[in-house]
Every structure is written in C-alpha cells, then in structure tokens.
Amino acid sequence: MAAIPDTFETSGWHVTAAGLRRGGVLGMNARNLLYIDRWNPRDRYPTVDDKVRTKTLAIAAGVPVPPLIAVVESQGALNGLHTLLAGHAEFVVKPAQGAQGNGVLVISGRDGDRYVRPDGTRLDRADLAYHCSGILAGLHSLGGRLDRVLVEERLHTSPAFDDLAVGGVPDLRVIVYRGVPAMAMVRLPTVASRGRANLHQGAVAAGLELGTGKTIGGLLDGRSVEKHPDTGVVLAGREIPRWNDVLTLAASLTDVFGLGYLGIDVVLDRDRGPVLLEANARPGLGIQLANGSGLIPRLEAIDAERVHERPLAERVAWSRAWSVSKTAGIP
C-alpha cells in the first residue's frame, strides 16, 4: 500500500460511530478510560513529564539520549547562562516539563554575541534569557507549574532524511502498548513549522508500516498529501534505517518507566543512531490518521495473544510480523 486510502466508500458526511468502530478507531474517551487510566499509574507520570527524570532513568537503563549541556533551575542562574553555553555553537533549550514541543528553542549557530536560529533569525542574550525565564516560571509546562530549563546538544539528522526534513530533525513516534510496538509514524519538519516536528505547527506526518519500516504516505493539517510541501519529494515508500533498533529501543521503555500506554519519540542521529528524545504518557490519536488505520485491532491483538509476556526481541518481532500480515490483507 503506497498511499493512504483517501476515503472509503462512505457517503461523505454520513460517517457514524458505527463506521468508526468498524474501522477500529480509538477515540479519546476510550483511550482515556480503557488504556491510559488502566495502564498508566498516576505516580509514574513524572518519569515522563519531567525530561530531566526521563533522561536520568534512560541513562541508568542504558538507553541512548541527547547529551545534556546544562539544567537551569532558578532565575538567578540565568545570569551565568551565556558563560555556561560558551563552548557550544548549537544547542536546544527546552522546558523540562513541556509538551508537544512547546517552549523548545533551537539554536543552530552564533553570530558574534548573538544566537542564530535555524530559520536565520538572531536572538541576543536578553532574548534568550527572557525565553528561559518564561520556562522557569511555568509558561510552557504542563499545568503551569514552575519548571526547569534543559539545554541539550543539538541532534543532526541521519542523511537518509535530507530531502524529507527541512530545517530540523525529524522524529519517530512509536505507540508502545504493554511493551509492544503498536503503531508508528515519522514527523517531518517543514518551513512552516520552523524546524520543529510539531504537527500542530505545520510539520508533515507519514505513517510507518511496522514490518518494513517504510512510510505510508503523508498527512498535513489533517489532510492527506503525497509530497513534502517544501521539497516536493514523494513521501511514501521511504525506508527508515535501523528500524529494528528503533522499535527495540521504544519497546524497552515500558519497563524503564513503568507505564503501559506510551508515546515514544525517537530521533535517528547521524552519529549516535536511535536516541530517545522524550516519552509521553498521553500520546495523541492523530497517529491513526497518519497510518490510515485504527489502533484498536492492534491493541486487542496484543491483549489476546498475551504478547506482553514475551521477551523484548520477540515482542518486536511479533509486532512486525502482525503488521505484515495485515498489509497482506489477511483479516
């Protein structure tokens, strides 16, 4: 299947709940009550909501993460920020407790005393301090709580994505249910998204067939597209390198965080390979649109065949095989 089926033969606006149920679509209410409430204990949320904790746990478990440059915890410490960053031409500033890429600031170079963003705009010291100050005060954090500033090394795209990602690093999102990869997509930055892989901001998503790691067409602003809006490259049929490593990394995190329904964001760094960017205890449902397929059949299959009881490598193999069988049209 090279392109996402545009519309089945539904008569346009006569879509009903019954049709969605047949399509196996996971809705918000069901996701919240049957999966998140059931499998994500509340006390484990901080392990993924606070990126500093995520990093600590990941490093302890031997999971690769982007190297940390600094953590800023107080407004006072901002005075020394510039000195702290002296040796780094490029870095990424993010709120420790942010979500959906909010508050993330990417610096790709220097221009004298000023910082340069991927789109070329310049920030001076005061602008950077102001942004960090907002992060500390909880502007971008979930629930508006006081937050910490995380400064990480900037990752570089694997060259496989050069013609697909514009101005930023694409990331891979994998939904992992009870330690088994259920669905995946790749998010490609565009000019509109200012280098961020944030779908709300105009990035392009492409579903990923779990068996082969190949893209299944594109989704932009909720509508399917065939080509990348900036480079014009066809989106379908591209293979993600080191696909098994990506799935294995994602699947291993259920045990690391103790959460049964996770959205894992992985980046393929040019030098380091698959690296964990962040994890999400309330992953969105748009991934179904990117894949042209509902999540429920997969989640139910995982439960029915008790895949979560198997060892890591077998879980990954199962999900790849299941996906291939689906694509081949076996019900």
Partner 1 sequence: MRSILPIVVACVVGCAALVAYKVLVVGIPLFPEPPPDAFVVEWQLSARVRAPQARATVAIPAASTPGLVDESFANPAASRAIRVRPGRRHLVLTADDGSAALRASYRFGLRGVLRATAESRTDDADLAPSPDVPSDSPAVIAAATADLGTATTDTARVRAQYDFVLDEIANGTPSTAADTLAARAGDASGRVLLFVALLRSLKVPARVVWSLPVVEGSATRLHPWSEVFLDGRWVAVDPVSGRFDEAPPHELDLARGDAPPLRLEGLDDVTTRWSVVRMSAREDATARQLQGDRGVFDALSLDGLSPTNRVSFRVLLLIPLGALLVSLFRNLVGLPTFGTFMPVLVALALRDAPPLAGLAFVLLLVAAGLATRWVLDRLRLLIVPRLSLLLTALILASTSAALLAEKFGTGPSLSVALLPMVVLTMTVERLSLMVVEEGLPNALKALAGTFVVAAACVLVFASDRLQELVFHFPELHLLVVAALLVLGRYTGYRVTEWLRFRTLSKPPGGT
Choose which of 46, 64, 109, 138 interacts with partner 1 (CB under 8 A). Answer: 138
Select from 103, 228, 97 the least CA-distant residue to 161: 228
Contact mark string toward partner 1, 218..257, x via CB under 8 A: ----x-x---------------------------------
- Is residue 133 at the binding interface for partner 1, with CB under 8 A as the rule? yes
Contact mark string toward partner 1, 17..46, x via CB under 8 A: xxxxxxxxx-xxxx--xx------------
CB contact set of 257 (below 8 Å; sequence gap of 6+): 44, 47, 48, 54, 57, 279
Supply angle C-alpha 51, 291, 297, rounded to 5: 95
- Is residue 324 at the binding interface for partner 1, with CB under 8 A as the rule? no
The length of the chain in residues reads 331
- Is residue 100 at the binding interface for partner 1, with CB under 8 A as the rule? yes
Minimum CB distance to partner 1 smaller for 7 or for 83:
7
Span interacting with partner 1, options 15-23, 43-51, 56-64, 310-318, rule CB under 8 A? 15-23
- Is residue 76 at the binding interface for partner 1, with CB under 8 A as the rule? no
> Cβ 207 to partner 1, closest distance in Å?
11
Please give the Cα distance from 237 to 214 (Å, whole number).
5
> Cβ 130 to partner 1, closest distance in Å?
5
- Is residue 327 at the binding interface for partner 1, with CB under 8 A as the rule? no
Select from 119, 155, 158 the least CA-distant residue to 278: 155
- Is residue 294 at the binding interface for partner 1, with CB under 8 A as the rule? yes
Could you give phi then psi for residue 169, rounded to 5 degrees? -100, 125
Give CA separation, 23 vs 18, 82, 172, 292, in Å: 9, 53, 24, 10
Contact mark string toward partner 1, 195..214, x via CB under 8 A: -----xxx------------
Question: In angstroms, how far apart are the furthest CA atoms of the chain?
Answer: 62
Q: What is the total count of residues that contact partner 1 (CB under 8 A)?
A: 47
CA atoms within 13 A on the CB side of 49: 16
Please give the Cα distance from 202 to 224 (Å, whole number).
13
Select from 286, 159, 164, 158 the least CA-distant residue to 229: 164
Minimum CB distance to partner 1 smaller for 70 or for 99:
99
- Is residue 145 at the binding interface for partner 1, with CB under 8 A as the rule? no
Choose which of 180, 184, 220, 289 interacts with partner 1 (CB under 8 A). Answer: 289
Could you give phi then psi for residue 182, rounded to 5 degrees? -105, -40
* Residues of the shown chain interacting with partner 1 in the complex, contacts defined by CB under 8 A: 4-10, 13, 15-25, 27-30, 33-34, 75, 100, 102, 126, 130, 133-134, 137-140, 200-202, 222, 224, 285, 288-289, 292-294
